[in-house]
C-alpha cells in the first residue's frame, strides 16, 4: 500500500463491537498524529487503489455508525471495501444504506463476523516477574504484557483497559498473581486519555493502542526480555515448560506490523501459548458495548484452535518461537475465541514513549 493511501486509510474511521472490563475516562485531548502503518495486502493498479481508498473514506464513517457493525476494511486483495456485521439483520441494514448511497454491489462485501471483546478475567507467583503471567488489579485479572526499561523507570506494559479506568492515569495498583498473595508490585503511571473528533467517528472515543505503563516498586524484581513459555502451542496448557521456561525477546518491531499471512504468537494467563495467522492489518476496531474504538489494529485468526479467552488481555504478541521479536500487545478477541486483535508496537511507543523490551 502506498504511503498516501495509508495516511488516508487511517483518516477514515471504522467500528468493531467489544465488551469493556473497566469504565472509560472522560475529558479527551486532541487526536495524536497518525502512525505510519504498514498494511500491504494487495497489488491493485495505483488508479484502482486510489478509487478503492476514496470509496473507503466515504463509506466508513457512514456505515460504521450503524448498529451491529463490527469492522470496515479497505481490502485491496479482494478489490472491495469489506464490512463486518454481527448478524444477518445488521447486514441487511448495511446493504440498504449502501444502496441509498449509490454504491455498486461489486464494490463491497458484507461478512457476518463475531463481535470483538476485550479479554479481562496465571496463576503462580513469579519472582522476578516475566511477561505472560497473571496480574491482578481492582476486581479483575489480566496478563503482564512485557517488562521494559523506560525513561520513566523500570516498568511493565499491559492494556489500558487493564486499569481501573480505561484512558487517563489514575494510579491503578497491581499485584501478582493476586492481592491476597502479594503486596503491590507496580503502579500505573501512564495511560493516555482517549480522544474525540478528527479521525474518530461520531459518538466514539479513540486511541491507536490499548496500552498503559506501570512503574515497578523498588522491592519487585523483573526480568526484561522473557516471556513465560508453556508446554506446547495451542494446547491450552498453563504449565511452564521446565526444559524451555521462557521465550527470549531479542528484537522489537517498532516500524510496522506483521503482514497478512504471518504467524504470530502470544502467551496469556487463560489460554497459554497460542498462535494464529495475521488476516487483517490497520483495521479500525470498535469495542462492543462501549464508545471505545482502537485505530489501525491487527487481526489474527486460527480457525482450528482457541487462541484467546478472558484474562488474556495484555499478552505480548511476537513472531518466532525461540529468540522472538515483539510486535504488539493483545487487547481483544472474538466471541468464538478464534480471533484476537493486537495493537502494533510502533503505536504503543507513539503513545507511551520509547522503551527497551529486549533481553
The total domain count for the chain is 1
Which pTM does this prediction carry? 0.77
Q: What is the pLDDT, as a whole number, of residue 174?
A: 98
Q: What is the distance between the alpha carbons of residues 5 and 41, in angstroms, rounded to a whole number?
A: 12
C-alpha cell at position 256: 510496522
Q: What is the pLDDT, as a whole number, of residue 123?
A: 84
Residue 34 lies in a domain: yes
Q: What is the pLDDT, as a whole number, of residue 43?
A: 62
Residue 196 lies in a domain: no
Q: Which residues of the chain have pLDDT under 50?
A: 1-41, 119-121
Crossing angle between the packed helical segments 46-63 and 3-11, to the nearest 10 degrees: 10
Q: What is the pLDDT, as a whole number, of residue 2?
A: 41
Helix, strand, or coil here: 3? Answer: helix
Which one, of 270, 173, 196, 174, lies nearest residue 24 by Cα?
196
Is residue 181 within 8 Å of 175, Cβ to Cβ? yes
Mean pLDDT of the chain: 88
The parent domain of residue 76 ranges over 3-117
Question: Residue 177: is the preceding peptide bond cis (ω within 30°)?
Answer: yes
Pairing of β 153-158 and β 146-150: antiparallel
Residue 95 lies in a domain: yes
Residue 232 lies in a domain: no
The C-alpha angle 79, 84, 85, rounded to 5 degrees, equals: 145
Q: What is the pLDDT, as a whole number, of residue 5?
A: 40
Residue 52 lies in a domain: yes
Which residue do the cell numbers 505510519 mark?
Answer: 36
Residue 204 lies in a domain: no
Is residue 167 within 8 Å of 160, Cβ to Cβ? yes
pLDDT in tens, 1-43: 443 443 334 333 333 333 332 322 222 222 233 333 333 445 6
- Residues 183-196: b if buried by 16+ CB within 10 A, e if exposed: eebbebbbbbbbbb
Task: Provide the residue count of the chain.
Answer: 359
The C-alpha angle 139, 292, 299, rounded to 5 degrees, equals: 95
pLDDT in tens, 126-155: 999 999 999 999 999 999 999 999 999 999
Residue 295 lies in a domain: no
Q: What is the distance between the alpha carbons of residues 225 and 242, in angstroms, rounded to a whole number?
A: 18
Residue 101 lies in a domain: yes
Amino acid at each position: 500500500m502506498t504511503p498516501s493511501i495509508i495516511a488516508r486509510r487511517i483518516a477514515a474511521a471504522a467500528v468493531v463491537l467489544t465488551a469493556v472490563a473497566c469504565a472509560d475516562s472522560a475529558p479527551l485531548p486532541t487526536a495524536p498524529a497518525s502512525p505510519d502503518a504498514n498494511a500491504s495486502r494487495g497489488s491493485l493498479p495505483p488508479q484502482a487503489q486510489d478509487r478503492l481508498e476514496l470509496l473507503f473514506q466515504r463509506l466508513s464513517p457512514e456505515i460504521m455508525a450503524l448498529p451491529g457493525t463490527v469492522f470496515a476494511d479497505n481490502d485491496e486483495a479482494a478489490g472491495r471495501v469489506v464490512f463486518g456485521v454481527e448478524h444477518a439483520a445488521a447486514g441487511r441494514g448495511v446493504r440498504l444504506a449502501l444502496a441509498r448511497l449509490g454504491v455498486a454491489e461489486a464494490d463491497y462485501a458484507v461478512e457476518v463476523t463475531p463481535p470483538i471483546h476485550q479479554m479481562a478475567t496465571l496463576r503462580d507467583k513469579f519472582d522476578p516477574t516475566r511477561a505472560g503471567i497473571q496480574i491482578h488489579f481492582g476486581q479483575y485479572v489480566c496478563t503482564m504484557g512485557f517488562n521494559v526499561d523506560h525513561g520513566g523507570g523500570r516498568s511493565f506494559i499491559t492494556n489500558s483497559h487493564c486499569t481501573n479506568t480505561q484512558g487517563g492515569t489514575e494510579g491503578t495498583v497491581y499485584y501478582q498473581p493476586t492481592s491476597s498473595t502479594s503486596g503491590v508490585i507496580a503502579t500505573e503511571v501512564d495511560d493516555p486519555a482517549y480522544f474525540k473528533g478528527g479521525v474518530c467517528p461520531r459518538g466514539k472515543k479513540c486511541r491507536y493502542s490499548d496500552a498503559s505503563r506501570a512503574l515497578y516498586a523498588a522491592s519487585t524484581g523483573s526480568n526484561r526480555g522473557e516471556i513465560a513459555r508453556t508446554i506446547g502451542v495451542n494446547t491450552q496448557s498453563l504449565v511452564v515448560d521446565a526444559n524451555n521456561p521462557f521465550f527470549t525477546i531479542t528484537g522489537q518491531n517498532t516500524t510496522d506490523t506483521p503482514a497478512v499471512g504471518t504467524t504470530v504468537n502470544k502467551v496469556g494467563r487463560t489460554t497459554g501459548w497460542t498462535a494464529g495467522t495475521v488476516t487483517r492489518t490497520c483495521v479500525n476496531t470498535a469495542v462492543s458495548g462501549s464508545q471505545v474504538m482502537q485505530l489501525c489494529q491487527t487481526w489474527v485468526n486460527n480457525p482450528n484452535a482457541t487462541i484467546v479467552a478472558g484474562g488474556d488481555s495484555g499478552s505480548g504478541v511476537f513472531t518466532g518461537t525461540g529468540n522472538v521479536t515483539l510486535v504488539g500487545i493483545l487487547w481483544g478477541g472474538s466471541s468464538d475465541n478464534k480471533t484476537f486483535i493486537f495493537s502494533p508496537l510502533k503505536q504503543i511507543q507513539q503513545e507511551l514513549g520509547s522503551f527497551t523490551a529486549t533481553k
